[in-house]
Chains A and B, each alone.
Chain A
């Protein structure tokens, strides 16, 4: 089954304790992206990757890191989490990057990770 898989679904942690949220897709998609969703603010892009070893900042990258060493995986790393990073996080992927003429859409989303930082 074609899907985007995020882990964990729920995570409660303490300020400053490094954590990684994993994201994996089995559709051979080139483009992957991380969003966070907060009440009243909608989905905001954190980082994106257009292919292996190609990553760039989105709208709210502060406090986050990513890597894309393999095409299928795009982990989100919080080196020193803070309470303002408490949010619902979504990983998404598409076959091609949105700005390319090959883009056919849509974005496929993982099931989300609800992170609480105390």
Chain B
């Protein structure tokens, strides 16, 4: 029973263009969402988060959008750079915090082509 779903296992984008990674969730009790980036042989690295009281959060080239009615969030990376090539995980929490147990999706592998 996947409560957090990332339906695209992989995505290829040209350098300089926008990357859009999508995530859907089924549990309406989730109220805090995070994105993590993972390079090979390293642990995941926190990227950006959003509380359910917001619909957008921006940090430099990274923006996360939340559509609660659709139970959908997306991560936009603009402009994409080759160093962004990694696996991106969407995660969700019940307790309005990133510092609690999280439910992760399966990840989307992003390849940014120079």
Chain B associates with chain A = no
